[in-house]
Amino acid sequence: MKSKKKLPFKQKTLGDGQLLREFSEATSDEELVWHRDRKDREVTVINGNGWYLQLDNMLPEHLEIGNTYKIPAREYHRLVKTEGCSQNLTIIIKES
């Protein structure tokens, strides 16, 4: 029997294809893995300081509150947390 891996975030469905997702500042680096999503995503940062988004073959980009970041479908990406990060990251994800 295959065990289900615990995800490193809390999530709430907002409706209209949007998700509210929160990553704890206590999330370990090992939990923030490279992965791909099946659909294009727009990620809007609601709260969080010291977090970065890294797309495949790119340098990490600092996530700024209020900004929206596009992640193309099937492109490898991950979140990166800076050392000493003391805020949770809260984002809204819209898939298309």
Q: Quote the pTM value.
A: 0.90
Domains delineated in the chain: 10-95 (2.60.120.10)
pLDDT at 86: 86
Q: How far, in Å, CA of 44 to CA of 55, rounded?
A: 16
67 alpha-carbon distance from chain centroid: 13
pLDDT of residue 41: 97
CA end-to-end span of the chain: 33
For 5-16, the pLDDT digits (tens) are 788 999 999 988
Task: Let me know the angle formed at the C-alpha of 93 by 61 and 32, rounded to the nearest 5 degrees.
Answer: 55
pLDDT, one tens digit per residue, over 39-89 is 999 999 999 999 999 999 999 999 999 999 999 999 999 999 998 888 999
Residues 6 or more apart from 16 whose CB is under 8 A from it?
Answer: none
SS3 67: coil
User: Can you tell me the mean pLDDT for 13-26?
Assistant: 94
